[in-house]
Structure 1
């Protein structure tokens, strides 16, 4: 990683913030991307750079957002750009390079000798595949295999290890965008390159976790078919280590709610670095939305979600089908992009066809504020969440909610601490078709209760989750850490 240099004409006037994200802005529409767009738009006196980590160019090349004028550049690292194809001739590492590689793979401490590793990567920047296909890496793999994984097939173990470290080496080989402050939207690869940028430049690093990245990866790995047996432990350990590295290097680590802050501490983040800053929504906008024209004979259930597995649309369809058989006037409108995971979207459409439920429509990506006031209730069936903006916007619009017991959903719908405003919706177990269906039926039969929940939700958003409060806290955070930042090269 080589740091660039800030142009002289921008050094004295405006501060530059590098937002680091993985699998989101500007290529994927969703909560994290919306949060990033909001930050950039609301701080026009700062310049921003996006350092985006994406899977591949085919799936992530089209921008899903209108880029604000103070967004100067988007730098994207594509993890799957190069196949495992060695270059010409054998690559031999020096003794120092072998030690650096050993420290990266085998060292169990989180205090990594980054300079040695960066020197190795920089020296062999065009031959990273050869580093992983070479004798030194093979010997290290044998050593770890004999110590911890000897019950498995060695070749399977070796290729898991190569698949694990190639993306890591690839992101570490990218040039560091010059900035006065680095702000990662997760741990994982984003937190890792943020840590390296802070190490190399001496600039501050902030991390905001919308969910807990390591827990989300752990859930995915446990369920994944591409990782078998003991190798699940290998991958989970890898992501836990990345998180600890980021937590230790960061100057400030932000969670969206108290439970996640406690999880960050449990995973190795020093408590004095942690802070809670809830998301905020534009209450004045959503609380005054006019209701769109619609058939009032129907009870409209709205879902504002991306059509991806983590949102568990299949459980939503099964639960709605069950509920609609009991309450025929129910209809479900699913609003959200279908192009992020086309295979999963097709599976959902196929399931819907098999169920034969006619009162379900996929509206695609929409302008939420044009539709949300027309919902009688809203439904979220995710298996993992942070603090979902769609739920908060629905609450601000006075719409009763049904949400699974994930992330901050219980806190949003039922309150926390001294919050006595009442319930804004029902919290249901993850993947529990019958309980979710029953919640839909219960609220469908009780319009007065829906109205009461909608009013409680509006009051909670007005008191605790307003956009100006959210922005003020980030403004204070940026001002404090920009004041702490060492001068850029050439200042």
Structure 2
């Protein structure tokens, strides 16, 4: 591990549980985590990072802020050291596996089962090395074999028991790894997971082990994103014959993986004291996935409006408007190819239009090469520029429109940063983009449109929107004013920081006697349920322990 990450402490005020993000991966979530930690310099943070394999992360992309007192990283798919001892067959605890079977049945209808938290509290001690439901018991006991066999007979619609057996084993292995992590992770006054999934499961374990509050924040909806990945994956077997396959039905093993991540999400929601989303659409999705409505709220991302304001003065009023910039990673979910095709269509009307692609290409080199080849095949050498990673402050004063052609987003910061620098935007109709462009309330909508919203994967509509805004000075200036006013009024960073400050203080300030209170008990309601309001800045200060 990088020596700069070697920080250990006996405890922390807030322990962040992070899956595949900060400090190793750049991007919106990592940037948000970095800003959040730095916003509370008097708060002692611990970080538990969960990744795939250590070799998948080339090194820290962010320096740990000084108030990160503890850091640990765990990798779920590392090869375990060989055990010289041969596996030992055991009978297993029939009562423990029966209790596990009840728990699995409860998870099938987690939203209507009130005892999942109690059941999980009972099961956690059994997951330990010497427990009745330890990994060794799962791998080598007769009761585990009977349990898997019975579940296959009752539920599996795929003919291959072998594939079912190994899928169940692979699926469950990280759960014991995370149980071992939870048994050793530092105590904290508040646990905060920035997703559901494995980090959310670890958060649920920590809540039920310690009784301390858990906060769940989601930028995107983890279960939705994993479902997209799983439906596109090629490593999951589909044993149906050619004439048995119905494209409208998902293969059993894909469905099994989807249900697995849905169950992890339900466990995190059930353990959480408060659950936040970036915008109302995602909050409603959380409720549909099992979150209790009274524990949910929307806290949109905020940006440093005042810090970006000087970029507005750097814009040249004499330069003709013709530069459209897509600022983001060159990966399929950003649909860079639609942006390139839109520029190609626009050149027929505006030959000197420029499309800038500003973002790293290392994440998916094959896709990046395809994008470059597409631009070249369309004869766009003079119109499309691949600029790689750039500082936002160097780019925004030189562009006239921010473009976002993604097929999936939550609340993209780049659109807000463009607004603060005086740049309108064209976005696809994903995530919170329509709220950002057109407003979310009557007062917000009265500010006017800050650009245009177009359908997904529609280069013609994207091109027309760009030509309309670039070709009409009055319309462009109105969009600029609307974006500036919207970001200043509703998306300033201090608003986000102070809302989370209130949540942290509410969670950490619970009396010890109430620390194990379940979600929905007195004091657990989200303080910003359905609200967006200006909050006066305050300082977060945990009293001495």
Query: TM exceeds 0.5?
Result: yes
2:48 corresponds to which residue? 51
Question: Offset at 1:296?
Answer: 3.6
1:377 equivalent in alignment to 2:418: no
1:155 corresponds to which residue? 162
Q: 8 Å contact 1:379–1:402 — kept in the other structure?
A: yes
The structure 2 residue matched to 1:291, chosen from 291, 314, 325, is: 314
How do 1:266-305 residues align onto structure 2 when only pairs under 5 Å count?
266-289=288-311, 290-291=313-314, 296=319, 299-305=322-328
Question: Offset at 1:325?
Answer: 4.2
- 1:90 and 1:97 mapped to 2: Cα distance? 21
1:210 corresponds to which residue? 219
- 2:406 and 2:255 mapped to 1: Cα distance? 24
Q: 8 Å contact 2:401–2:423 — kept in the other structure?
A: yes
Cα separation, partners in 2 of 1:402 and 1:135, compared to 1, 3 Å: farther
Q: 8 Å contact 2:425–2:437 — kept in the other structure?
A: yes
1:391 equivalent in alignment to 2:423: no
1:168 equivalent in alignment to 2:175: yes
The 10-residue stretch of structure 1 (166-175 or 257-266) with the greater mean CA deviation from structure 2: 166-175
Q: 8 Å contact 2:337–2:371 — kept in the other structure?
A: yes
- 2:78 and 2:280 mapped to 1: Cα distance? 38
Aligned length: 479
Cα separation, partners in 2 of 1:168 and 1:326, compared to 1, 3 Å: farther
- 1:295 and 1:221 mapped to 2: Cα distance? 50
1:364 corresponds to which residue? 388
TM-score, normalised on structure 2? 0.80
The structure 2 residue matched to 1:482, chosen from 508, 523, 542, is: 508
The 10-residue stretch of structure 1 (261-270 or 115-124) with the greater mean CA deviation from structure 2: 115-124
- 2:410 and 2:424 mapped to 1: Cα distance? 19
Cα separation, partners in 2 of 1:457 and 1:151, compared to 1, 3 Å: same
Q: String of CA shifts for 1:124-160, please: whole Å, max 9, x gaps.
A: 89x9588447654443332222222234322222333
- 1:133 and 1:422 mapped to 2: Cα distance? 64
| Structure 2, unaligned runs of 5 or more | 1-7, 111-115, 239-250, 516-543
Q: String of CA shifts for 1:164-202, please: whole Å, max 9, x gaps.
A: 222333223213232111111111111110111111111
Q: 8 Å contact 2:129–2:135 — kept in the other structure?
A: no
| Structure 1, unaligned runs of 5 or more | none
TM-score, normalised on structure 1? 0.89
Question: Offset at 1:119?
Answer: 3.1
1:182 equivalent in alignment to 2:191: yes
1:319 corresponds to which residue? 342
Largest Rg, 1 or 2: 2
The 10-residue stretch of structure 1 (114-123 or 261-270) with the greater mean CA deviation from structure 2: 114-123
Q: 8 Å contact 1:204–1:485 — kept in the other structure?
A: no
Q: 8 Å contact 2:193–2:200 — kept in the other structure?
A: yes
1:256 corresponds to which residue? 278
The structure 2 residue matched to 1:462, chosen from 483, 488, 492, is: 488
Question: Offset at 1:400?
Answer: 1.1
The structure 1 residue matched to 2:75, chosen from 75, 78, 91, is: 78
2:534 corresponds to which residue? none
Question: Offset at 1:205?
Answer: 0.6
- 2:56 and 2:367 mapped to 1: Cα distance? 14
Q: String of CA shifts for 1:81-137, please: whole Å, max 9, x gaps.
A: 127988642244531554465456565364143443453343389x95884476544
- 1:342 and 1:169 mapped to 2: Cα distance? 34
Cα separation, partners in 2 of 1:324 and 1:206, compared to 1, 3 Å: same
The 10-residue stretch of structure 1 (228-237 or 18-27) with the greater mean CA deviation from structure 2: 228-237
Cα separation, partners in 2 of 1:399 and 1:56, compared to 1, 3 Å: same
- 1:184 and 1:91 mapped to 2: Cα distance? 37
The 10-residue stretch of structure 1 (71-80 or 146-155) with the greater mean CA deviation from structure 2: 146-155
- 2:15 and 2:318 mapped to 1: Cα distance? 47
The structure 1 residue matched to 2:362, chosen from 339, 343, 363, is: 339
- 2:317 and 2:128 mapped to 1: Cα distance? 59
- 1:394 and 1:441 mapped to 2: Cα distance? 18
Q: String of CA shifts for 1:228-250, please: whole Å, max 9, x gaps.
A: 42222111111111111111110
1:429 corresponds to which residue? 455
1:119 corresponds to which residue? 126
Q: 8 Å contact 1:398–1:454 — kept in the other structure?
A: yes
